[in-house]
Amino acid sequence: MALWGGRFSSGPDEAFKKFNDSLPFDFLLAEHDIIGSVAWAGALEQVNVLTSDEHTKLVAALFELLDEVKVDLQAVSTSGAEDIHSHVESALIEKVGDLAKKLHTGRSRNDQVATDFRLWCRETADHIHAAIVRLKAELIELAERELGTILPGYTHLQRAQPVLFSHWCMAYVEMLERDETRLADAKKRMNYCPLGSGALAGTAYPIDRHKLAHSLGFTGATRNSLDGVSDRDFVVELLSCASISMVHLSRMAEDLIFYNSGEAGFIELADNVTSGSSLMPQKKNPDALELIRGKTGRVFGAFSAMMMTLKALPLAYNKDMQEDKEGLFDAMPTWLACIHMAQACIKGVKIKGDRTLAAAKGGHANATELADYLVAKGVPFREGHHIVGVLVQLAISENKTLDELSIEQYKSVHDSIEDDVYDVLTIDACIKARQAFGGTSLEQVSNAIKYAIKKQQISVRDANLDDVDSIAKLIQHWATAGENLPRAKSDMVHSINEFAVTEVNGTVRGCASLYIYDTGLAEIRSLGIDPQSGVKGQGRELVEHLLVKAKKLALSRVIVLTRVPDFFEKQGFTYCSKESLPEKVMKDCELCLRKESCDEVSMEYILKPSSRTEIPCKNVA
């Protein structure tokens, strides 16, 4: 039965039902709809719409349903329900009867779907972020492996100047870096929860929307109910990120297709990313790269379609918005698949250094160096440019390279050229000359690779619900060692917004939390690093990240109780007396295994002056 059937004397005809129903595609939101419903059930219990017993039964049934959905998600799409919300409610009624009908109290499908969709987008963005990190790592590894290999650089698809092949690799690392940061920015803006906005005017129940948002791992609640249910900026932003990134992947694919061609012969693609011809046995076609180039249009199309769908839509929710999903559900997996395939192509590529070097030596690619040589001899660049053009014509007429011209031929064009000209015309000299920051010299490219390796090893970000298991494992390890206080996993779920994590090559290896006691005061807690990660600097990155977060929250002071004061001193913390800390801070020490022989010291970081009434801090080192 439709959720809205009471107003109608008859149901929709089959053609309209097929046209209207969204379950054939929004079934992908099943897990997110259930998780959102669990959080909503908790909110309803807090305002006494549900009793404790009713809440327990509903949540148990929802988690049971979640387990079933995880086993066979595709089966959800064939249930015949109008949409995923109808399906979940019907399945819940089968488990707990009429109690399930209380769950929709104060909630609309409008704020429900907006929440579900954000949860899906956030999770998908995390998967894509991890894939971008891995593709960057593959390019950096190729750059390391081929350091010293020389490639002809091109403008207008004409040979221009020689560059290191590693320089080409690092150019795409830079592009992917921008893709990564764009995606991170988009995720920050989407991470606000519309649940509790109702159909458009807000819910009539006294729901604590901020607490509800935090329970789902959101930064906070959306501030306006009209905007909350109708905002699809996060979809547009994701599609924009995807489109720009696909431009980069398509450009890289085009480069590699050209480099792989018989005319260039610079590289050979691995068998696992190529295919053959049904007619011509000799062919080895770069199909993976061509498909990346081709699928770019699909992602662009989804972006364009979404913009057109939103154009001129009035507030608040309109059924047009049902068109927000199919394009994104296609574009995001397409983007992800292209990133994976690009990584596979890079991983298996074989560089033919002798061919790239021979090509770099052809085409008079050292002409710019010859012009710079003349400038060093006092010739104005514009005049030097003309002189080199004449020399290139001379070389072409004799089917020679510039370095094959005799000194007499050089002097016949300009008498300032001496025997030392040949030193600047070698390929190595051309590469070495590009010493400015960002250039293609061996030193500059080596520095770029080292910087990228250092940067890729550790990334720090705010935690999300997908990180709970990793955080729990880290906290349990250090609590067992007596270095941290134990924390229940359920507590981590409810306080996930307090946590930050470090990732090493896409895997969570460290965590810390910023626990706020009252206005202006917070404590860094649960700081722990995986001892097996082998990557230094994670603790520093976490502390810096949480201090930035504390400043954004307008906190005055951050405190820490620690056995490693030297580490925190390096981060700018100073010693203070434990007596200066509020009583509730010290109360938590009752849980500590070392409470009888405590050797922790208290330290603080002042973010801004405050009129504290606590005992002043003093150096107790």
Please write the tens of the pLDDT for every residue from 153-177.
Answer: 999 999 989 999 999 999 999 999 9
Does 589 score more than 70 pLDDT?
A: no
Residue-range domains of the chain with CATH? 5-105 (1.10.275.10), 111-352 (1.20.200.10), 367-425 (1.10.40.30), 458-606 (3.40.630.30)
Query: What does the H/E/C string look like for 70-89?
Result: HHCHHHHHHCCCCCHHHHHH
Position 621 scores a pLDDT of 35
What's the average model confidence in pLDDT over 284-308?
96
Q: Which two tokens stand for residue 257?
A: 């297709």
Q: Which two tokens stand for residue 415?
A: 């008498």
Phi, psi at residue 8, to the nearest 5°?
A: -110, 140
Position 583 scores a pLDDT of 59
Options 275, 277, 304, 340, the catalytic residue: 277
Position 614 scores a pLDDT of 43
Does 217 score more than 90 pLDDT?
A: no
Question: Any catalytic annotation for residue 277?
Answer: yes
Instruction: Assess contact for 442 and 432: CB atoms under 8 A.
Output: yes
- The more confidently predicted of residues 242 and 608 is 242
Taking all residues of the chain, what is their mean pLDDT, rounded to a whole number? 90
Question: Any catalytic annotation for residue 156?
Answer: yes
Instruction: Assess contact for 504 and 458: CB atoms under 8 A.
Output: yes
Residues 78-99 have pLDDT tens digits of: 999 999 999 999 999 999 999 9
Residues 301-340 have pLDDT tens digits of: 999 999 999 999 999 999 999 999 999 999 999 999 999 9
Phi-psi region of 506 (alpha: psi -120 to 50; beta: other; left: phi over 0): left
What's the average model confidence in pLDDT over 291-298?
97
When pLDDT is cut at 50, 70 and 90, the band that residue 612 belongs to is: very low
Residues 550-567 have pLDDT tens digits of: 998 889 899 999 989 999
Of all residues in the chain, the percent with pLDDT exceeding 90 is 74
d(CA 84, CA 32): 10
What's the average model confidence in pLDDT over 201-211?
96
Instruction: Assess contact for 258 and 252: CB atoms under 8 A.
Output: no
Position 613 scores a pLDDT of 42
Report the candidate in 401, 450, 405, 396 with the shortest Cα–Cα distance to residue 427. Answer: 401
Position 618 scores a pLDDT of 43
Position 615 scores a pLDDT of 40
Does 598 score more than 80 pLDDT?
A: no
Options 10, 52, 156, 397, the catalytic residue: 156
Instruction: Assess contact for 32 and 62: CB atoms under 8 A.
Output: no
d(CA 561, CA 602): 5
Position 221 scores a pLDDT of 96
- The more confidently predicted of residues 616 and 236 is 236
Does 182 score more than 50 pLDDT?
A: yes
Position 281 scores a pLDDT of 72
Residues 421-475 have pLDDT tens digits of: 999 989 999 999 999 999 999 999 999 999 998 877 788 999 998 899 899 999 9
Sheet holding 499-504, edge to edge: 459-462, 499-504, 507-518, 521-529, 557-562, 601-606, 574-576
Position 588 scores a pLDDT of 57
